[in-house]
Structure 1
Amino acid sequence: MNLITDTSFRNVTLAAVAEERARAHPEDTALLFDSGVRLSYDDAWRQANRLAQAIQTLGVKPGATLTFQLPNIPESVPLAIAASICGLIINPVVPIYRGKELGFILGDAKTEILFIPHRIRGFDFVQMIQELQPGLPHLRHVICCGAEDDLPADMLRFETLIDEASTEPAPIATVDPDDTKVVLYTSGTTGNPKAVRHSHNTLAKALDNGVMAWGLNDRDMMLMPSPVTHVTGYVNGIELPFFTDTNVLLMESWIVDRAVELIETHQATTCVSATPFLRELVDAARHQGKDLPSFRLFACGGAAVPSALIYEASEVLASCRAVRVYGSTEVPLVTVGFVGDGETQLAAETDGRVCNYEVRICDDDGNELGLNVDGEIWVRGPAMMQGYRDADQNAAAFSEDGFFKTGDIGQLLESQAIVITDRKKDIIIRGGENLSAREIEEVVMLHPAVAEAAAVSAPHARLGEGVAVFVTLYEGDAPGLSDLTALCAEQRLAKQKWPQWLGVLEEMPKTPSGKIQKAVLRQKLQADAVQLS
């Protein structure tokens, strides 16, 4: 079904629209932060220019990769604009990634300049980078934001970089809007993250699809708790207020009572984030006896979205339509929910209306199926990624005529809705984040007693899914769960990937070809009523 209605592109860069906003509306608010910081369009442009001057003085040339691993703090906004001014490829990396994941990404991206925080919740990012640097020959400059004490001699302070930079307008690099603008690494069924490439045009189109479907305008304010290093937070957090008239309120970390306060204080109207945040917001609003009348839309996806939660949100929040949306880093916002009058049931019981994509439902041989039939979801559209950096990954991911094979199983309905019924991809979706099962298994298999390991999703009370691991053993004592988490820590695996449940089997259920039947393992968890928390 071809539901593409607009193939036009903006053909502009973030630098161009930020400069225009600063010229036309210098004192208007671009973004607010939960720390109390207000960033006007003029503030953002001036800071970005000074940072761009500093980056150019360091000798970083157009086409180089700039990586940043920052939380939702004010520095992230001029940083993104400065990268655009300099013609750099920007590579946002979520702050929860540790040495194993970050080392791979920095090496694969050939990062030349890196921006990090000093510490978050006690974790020392400076120390982590010091440990990784010997294996990263392309990494020339490391800049620390908010340094708390002395830094190694080869690291720079963000504040010093800005203060010492020229105040003259930085020369703006000439780039083609169809060139690669951002590389985002996403976990999949293979162990290492995949490098997803988006151009200036494809990423702006993803933003425009949401703006068009949800009617965002100058009366809206987007509350954004999703990380700006994730495609949702980057597009709807950093870029939205420059490409549109909608302001943004960034939360550095999700604290539900603080979110309620911010919505009330600033009359926030919309949010695009993970399912657990909607669950907590509805519970907090009910507990506090507040219906948050300014709040009109919460679009959520990633982790499974119970239909009952969508209905409940409309009952508790006076003006809010909560919707289920579907997409990925590769194909952002394939569906946009249902926001029209009389569409609450569709909003609750489907995964959203397809917006500006062409969708096929295919069998295992690539034959197109009809409506209301389960098959793999294939999509293509103007907001689709340019492709993976790895050519072999592209060959497996795309059909001959350019459809992206999502790996998800679902149906296409007459209402132009998608309903997800299963997943082909062997990933675990924890609070909206994709976790690679294979990556977890590879670490668990390092334990000397483990012969085989299978990581699968288990129901999680708050996050939708968590990590359960089944193992078979060589002769000897079985490891305990604490042994495996200690091994994960030793291997510098991000904490959200650590197993929360361990099952020991005499043998794995397998297909005749020897592949572990993970569906059988998930059924066992369901039969045993396993529930993580």
Structure 2
Amino acid sequence: MAGLTHEAAAAHVTATNPTFKVGTADIRGVTYKVFENIPASVPALLPASRAGQGDGAWDYLVYRDERWTYDAFCNDVNRMAHALMRDLGVTRGQPVAIAMRNCPELLILTMAIASTGAVVVFVNAWWTTQELDYALRDSGAKVVFADGDRIARLAPLKTAMDLRLIGVRDGIGMGDDSYGALYAGSTDTTWPEVPIAPENDFAVMYSSGTTGHPKGVVQTHRGAVNAVFTWLMQAVMAPLITPPEDGAPPAPRPSVLVVTPLFHVTATHPMFLLSLPAGAKIALLHKWDASEAVRVIRDEGITRFLGVPTQSADLMEAARRMGEPLPTLDFIGSGGAKRPAAQVAQLAEVFPRAQVATGWGMTETNANGIGMAGPDYIERPGSAGRLYPPVQELKFLDDRGREVAPGAVGEITVKSPCNMRCYLNKPDATAEVLHEGWLRTGDLGFIDEDGFVTIVDRKKNIIIRGGENIACLDVEGALHRHPAVAEACAFSVPHERLGEVVGASVQLRGGMTVTLDDLTAFLRDHIASFKIPAHIWFRDTPLPRGATDKIDRRALRAECLATLDA
């Protein structure tokens, strides 16, 4: 049987499947296309997904030697939600922060906080005390659930900011309260009766921008849930586009392995939140370990892997070394950074049963965006894919905000209910990127006659190191704190494994010197370790400038990289 085209499959699903019926909604004065029949909020996903999770009886969450059935997970969410309201006084709209490495409590707390109508503030677990200080002041969060390392970094801020620190796992005994004590004191497993409107705020996630401090991206419940059902619809479309062979066995229950940090949208949305209505099992890695990932995929029958390109390469090498073909894998996706074109064919060869996939999305779009998998990707390894239907719209704009001709390079601009509400406390920055519902992404690309989008450059000065976004000005601000540094400019340096690492050129003040080791040690107190430059070029002369007297970042980068080549 011949398959449908991408457009025909989308039209068929929206016309015949009530779950994906599309209507319109007025959101903050703008009309958007939206799914009409999906859950109204993130916590509403839990009861709505129970039937597809074996009526709650199937294993749902796996972490090391710990396991939760779906009902057990939901019961833990509800117990913690009631504890938050009764014991901590958490109320609707209140920001509550989570600062920890990947662990089950992070997932439980995400849903518990959302169930109270409060706002989940996801804190980057790699941040220093200085960076944590900024995010907590910006978000206004006073209650913070944290593991041991994060509580140690938060301790200097506790008194001045009047923080209430709740210890989780190895943080128990280090804070004011503990997750375990709150959980033990709460036995109510009923769903909290808290009204949550689709346009209420669900979460704040911090995303590096072109300013020195990260921006708090405010996501609504409608935005997150529409993104989830957009991805779910792609799975329904897939067999219509590529029909299974006659007599093919039914697809196994989906199961996902989370290997990227849950304070990033790549892990929370298309992995965790999508797992609920998809009827999927979810397994967590505490931190990235390729050999451990191979063992979990083998032992748990994992079907879906999504990580930054570096992790795909590590997984491929570990599977070869361990002699594990990982036959259950049917999807190997990439997010956070562009996968090297050569890696696409390599993955398809090593994991022939898996569809190699790529995707583009942003924290500002609840991770919704563009993607493709399988033969389309193998044929176009440099492309980002097609726009996911049906609630998104796409156009390409020039610097004056005018649409460019098809095939011409322009700024990728998207409109959908998944777009953020705003940048927290930054109305000017919000106005720069949001116009009548359209989000200017800062990425430059073009679309071909078949609807495939290729991303060619970034307007923003962002370095993507192994999927982690780093603002150049953030690095430069830390460098300028050193008394010997007169001027600094950060830029990306190509790296075979991580894609990019941080490089910087520094002009020293007259008569002053500093060693590479001393400057690196100094930076550790001011920025997270992944932001510290891997290469620093010292100079006594001013950094090169262009006609507008701004530092010529491109020329400086080319000059420095030439010395590496030499």
Q: Same fold (TM over 0.5)?
A: yes
Q: Which amino acid aligns with 1:236?
A: P
* 1:29-52 Cα shifts (integer Å, max 9, x gaps): 22222x121111221122122212
Using the alignment, how far apart are the partners of 1:260 and 1:108 within structure 2?
39
Mapped pair 1:523 → 2:561 = no
Equivalence for 1:354: 387
| 1:230 aligned residue (249, 261, 264) | 264
Supply the distance in 2 between the matched residues of 1:55 and 1:470 (Cα, whole angstroms). 48
Query: Aligned match of 1:47 in 51, 57, 76?
Result: 76
**Alignment partners' CA distance in 2, 1:76 and 1:149:** 15
Aligned-partner Cα distance in 1 for 2:171–2:132:
22
Amino acid at match of 1:444: L
Q: 1:151 aligns with which of 154, 170, 174?
A: 174
1:217-366 equivalences in 2 (<5 Å): 219-339=253-373, 341=375, 344-346=378-380, 348-356=381-389, 357-366=392-401
CA distance in 2, matches of 1:209, 1:398: 21
| Correspondence for 2:429 | 393
1:151-182 CA-partner distances (Å, limit 9, x unpaired): 35xx1011111112243636321110221111
| Equivalent residue, structure 2, for 1:415 | 450
| Structure 1 CA distance for aligned equivalents of residues 121 and 131 of structure 2 | 14
Cα distance change, pair 342–158 in 1 and its aligned pair in 2 (3 A): closer
Alignment partner of 1:132 is 2:157? yes
Structure-2 change in CA distance of 1:410 and 1:443 (3 Å): same
Q: Secondary structure at the match of 1:326?
A: strand
Cα deviation digits, residues 109-153 of structure 1 (max 9, x gap): 1113210001xxxxx32232220123324x3x321012467435x
Q: Following the alignment from structure 1 to structure 2, what is the Cα–Cα distance between the partners of residues 484 and 395?
A: 37
Indicate yes or no: 2:118 matched with 1:95.
no
Asked if 1 retains the 8 angstrom alpha-carbon contact of 2:537 and 2:560, the reply is: no
User: Over aligned residues, Cα RMSD in angstroms?
Assistant: 2.3
SS at match of 2:482: coil
Give the equivalent residue in structure 2 for 1:121: none
Partner of 1:371: 406
Contact 1:91 1:182 in 2 (8 A): yes
The residue that corresponds to 1:16 in the other structure is 44
Q: Does 1:160 align with 2:196?
A: no
Return the alpha-carbon distance in structure 2 between the equivalents of residues 438 and 259 of structure 1: 35
The runs of 4+ residues in structure 1 deviating greater than 6 Å are none
Alignment correspondent of 2:192: 171
Q: Is the 8 A contact 2:266 2:335 kept in 1?
A: no
Letter in 2 for 1:113: V
1:504 has 2:538 as partner: yes
Question: What amino acid maps onto 2:385 in structure 1?
Answer: G
- Report the Cα offset of residue 310 of structure 1: 0.6
Match of 2:85 among 50, 56, 64: 56
- Tell me the secondary structure at the aligned position of residue 210 of structure 1: helix
- Residue by residue over 1:174-221, the C-alpha shift from the partner in whole angstroms, topping out at 9 and shown as x without a partner, is 110221111111111101111111111111122222222245986211
Letter in 2 for 1:476: G
SS at match of 2:156: helix
Query: Between Structure 1 and Structure 2, how many residues are aligned?
Result: 516
Contact 2:128 2:528 in 1 (8 A): yes
CA distance in 1 between counterparts of 2:138 and 2:318 reads 42
Q: Matches of 1:312 and 1:231 in 2, distance apart? A: 27
Secondary structure of the residue that 2:306 maps to in structure 1? strand
Structure 1 residues 397 and 320, CA gap change in structure 2 (3 angstroms): same
- What are the equivalent positions in structure 2 for 1:68-79 lying under 5 Å apart? 68-79=98-109
Q: Which amino acid aligns with 1:133?
A: K
SS of match in other structure, 1:452: strand
Query: Cα offset for 1:461?
Result: 2.7
Task: Give the match's secondary structure for 2:454.
Answer: strand
Match of 2:105, as an amino acid?
A: E
For 1:209, what is the secondary structure of its paired residue?
Answer: helix
**Which deviates more from structure 2 when the two are superposed, residues 168-177 or residues 412-421?**
168-177
User: Matched residue of 2:413: which SS?
Assistant: strand
For the structure 1 residues 343 and 499, does the alpha-carbon distance in structure 2 shift closer, same or farther, using more than 3 Å as the test? closer
Structure 1: gaps of 5 or more residues = 119-123
Q: 1:289 to 1:318 in 2, by over 3 A?
A: farther
For 1:480, the equivalent position in structure 2 comes to 515
Q: CA deviation at 1:530?
A: 5.8
Tell me the TM-score normalized by structure 1: 0.91
**Distance apart, 1:103 and its partner CA:** 0.9
Letter aligned with residue 361 of structure 1: F
Tell me how far apart the structure 2 counterparts of residues 490 and 342 of structure 1 sit (CA, whole Å): 46
1:81 maps to 2:111: yes
Partner of 2:211: 190
Residue 115 (structure 1) aligns with: 145
Residue 335 of structure 1 deviates from its aligned partner by 4.2
Give the structure 2 partner of residue 66 of structure 1. Answer: 96
- The question of whether the paired residues in 1 share the 8 Å contact of 2:254 and 2:278 is answered with no
- Please give the secondary structure, in 1, of the residue aligned with 2:274: helix
Q: In the aligned structure 1, how far is the partner of 2:405 from the partner of 2:369? A: 19
